Amino acid sequence: MDKLIIQGGAKLHGDIRISGAKNAALPILAATLLADGPVTIGNVPHLHDITTTMELLGQMGLELTVDEKMNIEVDASTIREFFAPYELVRTMRASILVLGPLLTRFGRADVSLPGGCAIGSRPVNLHLQGLAAMGADLTVDGGYIRASAKRLKGVDLVMDLVTVTGTENLMMAATLAKGVTVIRNAAREPEVVDLANCLISMGARIEGAGTDTVRIEGVDSLSGTTYEILPDRIETGTYLVAAAMTGGNVRLKNTRPELLEAVLAKLNEAGAAITTGENWIEIGMNGQRPRAVSIHTSPYPGFPTDMQAQFTALNCIAEGTGVITESVFENRFMHVLELQRMGAQVKVEGNTAITTGVDYLKSAPLMATDLRASASLVLAGLVARGATEVDRIYHIDRGYETIEEKLSNLGAHIRRVPS
């Protein structure tokens, strides 16, 4: 296992390129199971979760070829297994996204139930309820979902909760179902829209993606396509917060400002000067200390839960007091315990973290617990006095492409060492 060592104090400056969105690439890789011809996907981030998904599809017998720019071509015509083993699913919960495509195209699937993770129990009951309503026969046996279906049928679904991968799984299942499926209370995340646009380029008939009501008219087959993944809005937000915390001035290229309006609004509130163009965002603090902000996470277009840990870190060194309420996941303050070890003044009451900014954090040996929490520890290390060690950074490698390289390009003093 590796760890990162960060020497705090550098004001970030310069520009970096944002990678493709992990949470769009994962469902779109699963969608290749639906196509009766090769699918070529561009702008895929080089992340551990992507290689895990490619391993899963490869184990099923699909042909995958990757070029030097991480364009991936997937051909599902050689599929021979409809099985997602626990060994892979437990390392990446998003493997559940193969369930809908396998069922609707091949009529069968044995997919391990994804376990919980550090941030919550992460049930998939809404995925299963939706598929059952579409006519799938599902049983859970020995930790596996055993699923079969002659041909799924279109239904009118009302989701009890807004679920991103639940909406994605059911939308993919509906593309080859018989008749029309309507998903109400659907997730509106940009990654759901990116998946829908990719499916439409394969011949799917989908309307309303990005709204809370998605209508899918089933077709008999979907063809291969070439599709480019949208930029990662959470990676973008993470580097914007890094610049805000260090009082720096950074430009992020190959990103889309309209995907992060709630985040940009909070950065403005924190005192950042933000300018944007069609595919870039620039943030300047002019050496100022950020002001603390209060946040309530919610499904898109609300403030994203995946940016909560990063703003908790910002509040630790900001001026004033900020109150952050996490309303999406039940246990997403694991980073607070580590930040407190650096001298942060944070009090967690239920699903709220109340933070009073301190003049400085002190470096400490830290342990990463989950993807976004570990990113927040790196951000804290950028401003702490001394050298901060963040261990178990495989969590970070799941969601941030070459984080130490990108931060070094912005002037941070950071290096990766074996732990």
Question: Measured from the CB of residue 329, what is the shortest distance to ligand EPZ in angstroms?
Answer: 5
The span of 9-17, 66-74, 125-133, 202-210 binding ligand EPZ (CB under 6 A) equals: 125-133
- When the beta carbons of 26 and 241 are compared against ligand EPZ, the nearer one is 26
Q: Does 94 bind ligand EPZ (CB under 6 A)?
A: yes
- Sheet of 180-184: strand order equals 156-158, 180-184, 213-217, 205-207
Question: Measured from the CB of residue 297, what is the shortest distance to ligand EPZ in angstroms?
Answer: 9
Q: Does 399 bind ligand EPZ (CB under 6 A)?
A: yes
Reduced to 3 states, what is the DSSP secondary structure of residue 89?
Answer: helix
Radius of gyration, CA atoms only, the chain: 21
Please, what is the end-to-end C-alpha distance for the chain in angstroms? 6
Interface with ligand EPZ (CB under 6 A), residue from 85, 107, 120, 208: 120
Q: Taking the mean position of all CA atoms in its chain, how far away is CA 365?
A: 26
Residue position matching structure tokens 């989950």: 370
Residues 303-322 that bind ligand EPZ (CB under 6 A): 305-306
> Binding-site residue total for ligand EPZ (CB under 6 A)?
22
The span of 13-21, 55-63, 123-131, 202-210 binding ligand EPZ (CB under 6 A) equals: 123-131
Interface with ligand EPZ (CB under 6 A), residue from 125, 223, 226, 279: 125
Q: Does 126 bind ligand EPZ (CB under 6 A)?
A: yes
Residues facing residue 295 across a β-bridge = 324
Q: Does 163 bind ligand EPZ (CB under 6 A)?
A: yes
d(CA 54, CA 385): 41
387-391 and 413-418 beta bridge pairing: unpaired
Residues 205-244 that bind ligand EPZ (CB under 6 A): none
Q: How far lies 121's CA from each of 24, 67, 238, 332, 354, in Å?
A: 22, 37, 25, 11, 24
What is the pattern of x (binds ligand EPZ, CB under 6 A) and - over residues 324-343? ----xx--------------
Cis amide linkage into residue 301, ω under 30° from 0: yes
Q: Which of 9, 43, 18, 13 is nearest to 29 (CA)?
A: 43
- When the beta carbons of 97 and 384 are compared against ligand EPZ, the nearer one is 97
Residues that bind ligand EPZ (CB under 6 A): 23, 26, 94, 120, 122-127, 161, 163-166, 305-306, 328-329, 371-372, 399
**Which of the residues are catalytic?**
117
